[in-house]
Structure 1
Amino acid sequence: MKQDWKPGTMIYPLPAVLVSCGKEESEYNIITVAWTGTICTNPPMCYISVRPERHSYEIIKRNMEFVINLTTKDMAFSTDWCGVR
């Protein structure tokens, strides 16, 4: 049965996401993040959780911005690889 949903900010449930960060090419980085979700729908807000030990943590903290890239089944290997490299 087909369901029509109004536009929204729901990103849960989903697999791990790829978070890209960095303002300068020298600091560009991508990290696999499993802890992500919606905080509020109005205004639209979502969150990620990154440990301070991770290289991307300081980049995100310094620049105060990042991009959440949703993954697909076909990207499972690449997503896992980014999570361990």
Structure 2
Amino acid sequence: MKQSLGAKTLLFPTPALMIGTYDSAGKPNLMNAAWGGVCCSEPPCIAVSVRKARHTYDAIVERKAFTVGIADEAHMAEADYVGIASGRNADKFAIAGLTEVRSELVDAPYAAEFPLVLECRLVHTFDLGIHTQFVGEIIDVKADREIVDEDGLPDILKLKPLVFDTAHRGYHSVGPLVGKAFSVGKRFM
């Protein structure tokens, strides 16, 4: 029998997304956001939710663009730092030792150290309560060659993305393949 836990943000897992923006002065910033994910296939879009009080909020509204870096195990401390420090009073790239790369496609930066990056153009904004959801059309995806498989796509085990445990506020990594999607369920057809 299940027990009620009440209305909580308990979804497992959530990603550790590194949201890259430029503020009004052109200063690069990164924010760690767990509230996000793919929200449309055609056109390819991702949604991220940001509190209005965050430095990143105004930057996305003003620049109409953001990047989404996928944090990996090797950069867990840097990913955590950009989520606990404010870009209003810290140069997160410099302090964390991350290399700023200016996107050639959207008005936003990303950190070279994160092995997978989505470059996004803002297409929708939804006020949800204390968070605003920003929907960005994915203009391009950039991946380090080391994580790309023979099929030309990222290999999740080479990427080693961080996932966030909303209940215990911890980072985890992914494990081996346990089944092929759109295949294992065919036994019920």
The bucket for the TM-score relative to the shorter chain is: 0.7 to 0.9
Q: Distance in 1 between matches of 2:24 and 2:51?
A: 22
Q: Once the 2 structures are TM-superposed, how far is the Cα of residue 16 of structure 1 from its aligned partner?
A: 0.8
Distance 1:77 1:20 in 2: 17
Paired residues of 1:38 and 1:46 also in contact (CA < 8 A): yes
Contact 2:17 2:70 (C-alpha < 8 Å) held by counterparts: yes
- Percent of aligned pairs with the same amino acid: 27
C-alpha RMSD over aligned residues: 1.9
- Quick check: 2:15–2:34 contact (8 Å CA) kept in 1? yes
* In structure 2, distance between residues paired with 1:67 and 1:45: 12
Residue 9 of structure 1 aligns with which residue?
Answer: none
- Larger RCO, structure (CA 8 Å, separation 6 or more): 1
TM-score between the two structures when normalised by the length of structure 1: 0.76
* 2:24 equivalent to 1:42: no
Q: How far did 1:53 drift?
A: 0.4
Cα offset, 1:74, TM superposition: 1.1
Larger Rg: 2
**Shift >3 Å, 4+ stretches:** 23-26
Contact 2:23 2:58 in 1 (8 A): no
Contact 1:15 1:34 in 2 (8 A): yes
State the partner residue of 2:84: 84
Contiguous gaps of at least 5 residues in structure 2? 1-12, 86-189
1:67 maps to which residue? Answer: 67
SS in 1 for 2:32: strand
Quote the Cα distance in structure 2 between the aligned partners of 1:14 and 1:59: 23
SS, match of residue 39 in structure 2: strand
